[in-house]
Structure 1
């Protein structure tokens, strides 16, 4: 057997040529014997070469097992080939635990079930791939939850949490992962199965019993050193938990002091065995919660007073520092939430939570907190939040803390390597103060947030890892380690060891205990095939060969078609000032830097709410995930993948199911805008291959619409003759099940009297006056030629509200167009030309203060978004500020006291609302809900849906039809089918078509309801 040892140990690395044949044979056997996916192509291996750390190590291949038999077979086949295995869940590890030269086994897609549940005993047995939020949603009806509530709960798996010994915001009350695990079923390195639990329950003479006895002997031999070197803190997760046998352990893992061998595997990072199932200890759901947000004028005060706040027995005390506050205020999703928690401009805030069965007692706890802060010299510093919805919103901002921090543009990023050091609370203020001085000595600043309650603060110095960052990282780590030792803290307090802290295990525990760890590793994994290079025999944290961005990193030369300069900046870590880009790193004009905004934290893997990411929701495939796409693009732009740049097949395949929903633009806390990046990729493909017939037909729809109107009878005839329609649709690449949209109207043309008014108002633009306030109604292609009644209804409502409506055409007398159809076809030059034509027509009204109001979200919001990427300067910015969706305009006018709109009840008492993806991306769905609430007696329910799946032409394309329907069936179509007699409301043209095709129900634009409700 040829053993492929880790290249990061002291042993010889087998040459690449020697590996090719065995790895090829490995892939062949895996494909033959497994039912799950086996991925050995370069792009897939590249997507799994990273996690949320700064490291990148390409695996030999990837297996996605379909069931437990696949998992066992994969381990057996890899062992026979001498190839290491690396189990992986959500891939959200921040220290490099889930990257390595190994066969990666991704358990998140299929091994995610609940196996056993005992509500009386409060235990549950789960597979390792289940996501924490999914488990807690499953447990909620039973009044129970798994309380290790980490910030990545929407995407992290229980197997990964066990591997890292995760902790969470409420560990001060519930403990860490190791305190809440009762047993673990595993596959050993030799293929055998084992179940580890309480040592006194192990069968005498069994394999598990023999291992337990061997580990006990090691622990007893090193008992004195364990007592001396293991930090006396709850938050210490480094090494192996050899202290499980120490009856004098001040932090017992089980309440009755019984030794549990499963706890040895918790925090082992997959280096001992592969997890099959985990038995978890559950807790009752808190009946009530209250939150006090304490505002501090200085960061030091926040740290110093934490030790006093914890005496009130809160369930959580979480820090948000000034940097995170400012970044949250810049995010449209977080700004309204964080503003409610602030008193003036605090330098830091602490989120102090109390939970329990008695709400009145919790209110008294809040009062005690207020009293305490007054006694400490900060009276009136607490914002009380007793309402559950506002608490959840603020906790969501805190949970997004890491990604908010990573939203800084430019090469300098907050880097994870000392972020989880834990110190006793009495030293917390001094530690943070002195560590800040360390940062300043090295010319940088740190960002602070997280678990003040247990002395673990996530701190990330801002470093440019492509320009001197590695040297600073090493120097800062050494000085931080000295401080941790001085304050008797733990160097690794939450996120594990991995690569960035693995070498510090020996420093923390000493050589003798480190040798004991190596003995434990040998008991479980004598051939070093279980995630080698973790915990023991680890690489150096600053080994340049392992970095995702090595010092020689440089992008391929590329001239983008859009303006990416806002991303092509450098930021002074101390002052925050931005300057011109650095030297020769990003040669794509900022496009690569925009791609690199993805920090791999996997927030896009969520399923619970929001839009992102519809293609991943139906495939659960890393390739069709925002993170997977970003990694593909990063590898391509850096010359590590493919030879054709953005025009290559790797990019085309990764973006194939991207519906340009812009969900990532809003839901991704770092603002990765994959829809905009896709425009670049499509343009590159078109520049090389030209535009196909189907894409030309879509792109030219606005220009062809008048002709298509005349041909409507023929189109209707063709659709009614299947023997003719099917071959025609096949030829054009269209889905046979779709009816072709008909161009049957031309609202601007038939509203001739209004057109005369519009012409005279264009004369007004030169300086004329009007008594009524003006508003420009932007009538897009779809609501002009296909559903002109919507434009007509909007016109009627605006006039009834007291506005003079302007319907403008371009100087060439053609209707204005946002150019989105050209963008979807990669014809950016033609889209830019439409933007220039639109700007020339609308700017006189904009300069005069008129709003530009649109009905179709994708069209109107193109002027707010894509127009800014054409390099059209100040006019584009002004137009973007003037552009409002119909409902946004009404809400703005109503809040300003300028709207006079009398409405009457409708016959239907209820409306079911589906939000267009772009409405959600621009936080424009709430105005829709508010406007509908103005209709007397109308109950409005918003469907918790992602993308409808139509996405313009996407749902019409033959190869995408099934994916389109799956996206709709995830939530939207079932909700519509069960809506009864309720009105169905959707502003998006594509959304309405999808609803009609999938349910035979007619959905309406909001303007239709308002028009019928006019008093």
Structure 2
């Protein structure tokens, strides 16, 4: 190979021992014969792509980036990262209008939020769905999450900000697009729980989307700009003595791991200060720094679904153990299955059927178990499960907010 044209990969593909266990654990290969599989798409394909980009296989577009291959890999090869970086680098053509719209969550949330009741109604109409299917390639079967008429930050500044100054401790909250534009209630629930244990909340001023949608839709330059903005805000919060927490497992995973691995935006100095809210609260309780009191009348049978990125973080135990602390909760841990939506992936017409087939084992178990509701730390898993089953889905933080005796908890932690 001509040394002048040699490309150097910073991924550890040479550590692959070709055991193919990643392919066994891949949810896509089971349902889609057109996907080469993680070993061939990742470390095997990287060897060829470094010699000649023409070896790039467009079949890599079927990868969910669920990271199950990386969890299974005994050699800790960054298989998913290799695939995503290859897609960004070698895919021909620019992202489509559909992909750009789905990826720009801040822009779409701001625009749509101004007309939320109208847009929410229109997105449920069959003619509108058929039009988006034919013109944009957004599958007509996909249900959109509702948009909120009021942004979370607007509510926070009006109703909650002044009260936070009275709290003895502080934490910064990366609320993300879902809480900001779709479901402010989750953010309100977090503020309620944190205030009850004596923690005030500050928002990251003018935070941007975590970037996961832009990464998956190959808008890497825009994702890098957002990542740089977010990390600057994180560093400012950490310098002020605060940890940065979030309620979305994917947002937190992206900021901790995808920023350096995919976007090459390095965060070593603050990575350990970015964590999921359930992990933050559980560790406070486990270390004896705070106590929780619960309503005796709260009784629920809850099924917990582990999001793929939550499994990659290795943090499922924090959410499930918090739920187990609630005396009236009967907790069932669902089998480890990808729900199939993978953010914007499941909205696209060409992937929709694969998305549903991937999630089918999970949907069947939920229907068989008939829990009062499902708990999960990922908002897109919530959308997929609620669309594909009869179950309602709540974030563990919202479960805590409903079950906690706010006054008794505050007294326990503020003598």
TM-score, normalization by structure 1: 0.38
Matched residue SS, 1:912: strand
Partner of residue 18, structure 2: 600
Work out which of the residue numbers 899, 918, 922 in structure 1 matches 2:313.
922
Match of 2:339 in 1: 948
Report how far residue 722 of structure 1 moved.
1.7
* Cα drift, residue 589 of structure 1: 4.1
Structure 2 partner of 1:973: 363
* Contact kept? 2:66, 2:309, Cα under 8 Å: yes
Deviation at 1:995, TM superposition (A): 0.8
Distance in structure 2 (CA, Å) of the matches to 1:635 and 1:1003 = 42
Q: Deviations over 1:931-965 (max 9, x none)?
A: 10110131211111221000101111111111111
Q: Contact between 1:863 and 1:879, CA under 8 Å: does it hold in 2?
A: no
Q: 1:885 to 1:828 in 2, by over 3 A?
A: same
Note closer, same or farther for the CA distance 1:915–1:852 as it changes in structure 2 (3 Å cut): same
SS at match of 1:614: coil
CA distance in 2: counterparts of 1:878 and 1:777, whole angstroms: 18
Question: What is the aligned partner in structure 2 of residue 1014 from structure 1?
Answer: 404
Are residues 1:675 and 2:95 paired?
A: no
* In structure 1, distance between residues paired with 2:23 and 2:220: 30
CA RMSD of aligned residues (A): 2.5
CA separation of 1:994/1:605 partners in 2, compared to 1, >3 Å: closer, same or farther?
Answer: same
Give the aligned partner of residue 126 of structure 2.
722
The 1:905/1:824 distance shift into structure 2, 3 A limit, reads farther
Are residues 1:625 and 2:37 paired?
yes
Name the SS for the 1:774 alignment partner.
strand
Per-residue deviation at 1:877?
A: 1.5
Do the aligned residues in 1 keep the contact of 2:304 with 2:332 (CA within 8 Å)? yes
- Cα 1:838–1:622 change in 2 (3 A) is same
Match of 2:70 in 1: 665
Tell me by how many angstroms 1:901 deviates: 1.9
CA deviation vs aligned residue, 1:905-951 (integer Å, no higher than 9, x gap): 45444210001101101101111111101101312111112210001
Larger relative strand fraction: 1
Tell me how far 1:555 sits from its aligned partner: 10
Which residue of structure 2 lines up, in the alignment, with residue 738 of structure 1?
Answer: 142
Matched, 1:992 2:397: no
What are the Cα deviations for residues 313-347 of structure 1, in whole angstroms up to 9, with x where unaligned? xxxxxxxxxxxxxxxxxxxxxxxxxxxxxxxxxxx
Deviations 1:583-640 (A, max 9, x none): xxxx32424xx2333221011244xxxxx31112334x4944221222552343243x
Alignment of 1:166-205 (within 5 A): none
Q: CA deviation at 1:772?
A: 1.1
Q: Which residue of 2 aligns with 1:613?
A: 26
Whole-angstrom CA distance in 2 between matches of 1:675 and 1:660: 6
Max radius of gyration: which structure? Answer: 1
Partner of 2:369, secondary structure, is coil
d(CA) in 2 for partners of 1:589 and 1:917?
A: 26
Measured after TM superposition, the shift of residue 739 of structure 1 is: 1.8
Structure 1 gap segments, 5+ residues each: 1-551, 558-586, 607-611, 762-769
Q: 5 Å matches for 1:374-773? A: 557=6, 587-591=7-11, 594-606=12-24, 612-619=25-32, 621=33, 623-630=35-42, 632-639=44-51, 643-644=53-54, 648=56, 650=57, 652-653=58-59, 655-685=60-90, 688-744=92-148, 745-753=150-158, 756-757=161-162, 772-773=168-169
Cα shift at 1:712: 2.7
**Partners of 1:682 and 1:826 within 8 A in 2:** yes
Contact 1:973 1:999 (C-alpha < 8 Å) held by counterparts = yes
Cα deviation for residue 808 of structure 1 reads 2.2
CA distance in structure 2 between the partners assigned to 1:742 and 1:685 by the alignment: 35
Give, in whole Å, the separation in 2 of the partners of 1:872 and 1:635: 24
Residue 252 (structure 2) pairs with residue 889 (structure 1): no
The C-alpha deviation readout for 1:420-448, integer Å capped at 9, x for no partner, is xxxxxxxxxxxxxxxxxxxxxxxxxxxxx
1:730–1:685 distance in 2 versus 1, CA, 3 Å? farther
2:236 match: 844
Verify: 1:834 aligned to 2:239, yes or no.
no
**Deviation at 1:871?**
4.3
Q: Per the alignment, in what secondary structure is the counterpart of residue 858 of structure 1?
A: helix
CA distance in structure 1 between the partners assigned to 2:247 and 2:185 by the alignment: 12
1:783 and 2:179 matched: yes
Distance 1:755 1:988 in 2: 25
Tell me, in whole angstroms, the C-alpha distance in 2 between the residues paired with 1:780 and 1:771.
Answer: 23
3-state DSSP of counterpart to 1:775? strand
Instruction: Assess, with a 3 A threshold, how the Cα gap between structure 1 residues 909 and 719 changes in structure 2: closer, same or farther.
Output: closer
Task: Decide which moves more: 727-736 or 791-800.
Answer: 727-736
Deviations 1:408-430 (A, max 9, x none): xxxxxxxxxxxxxxxxxxxxxxx
Partner of 1:857: 249
- 2:323 counterpart residue number: 932
Shift of 1:842: 2.3
Distance 2:315 2:252 in 1: 12
Helix, strand or coil at the partner of 1:659:
coil
Q: Could you say if the C-alpha distance between residues 629 and 685 of structure 1 is closer, same or farther in structure 2, counting changes exceeding 3 Å?
A: closer
1:117-156 pair list within 5 angstroms: none
Inter-CA distance 983–741: structure 2 relative to 1 (3 Å threshold): closer
1:975 Cα offset (Å)? 1.3
- 1:476-526 superposed Cα distances (whole Å, 9 cap, x missing partner): xxxxxxxxxxxxxxxxxxxxxxxxxxxxxxxxxxxxxxxxxxxxxxxxxxx
The whole-number CA distance in structure 2 between the counterparts of 1:714 and 1:643 is: 46
Distance 1:803 1:722 in 2: 46
Task: Output the CA distance in 2 between the equivalents of 1:1003 and 1:637.
Answer: 42
- What is the CA–CA distance in structure 2 between the aligned matches of 1:902 and 1:924, rounded to whole Å? 23
1:800 — aligned with what?
196
Structure showing the higher helix proportion among its residues: 2
Give a deviation string over 1:139-159, Cα, whole Å, max 9, x none.
xxxxxxxxxxxxxxxxxxxxx
Q: Is the 8 A contact 2:227 2:259 kept in 1?
A: yes
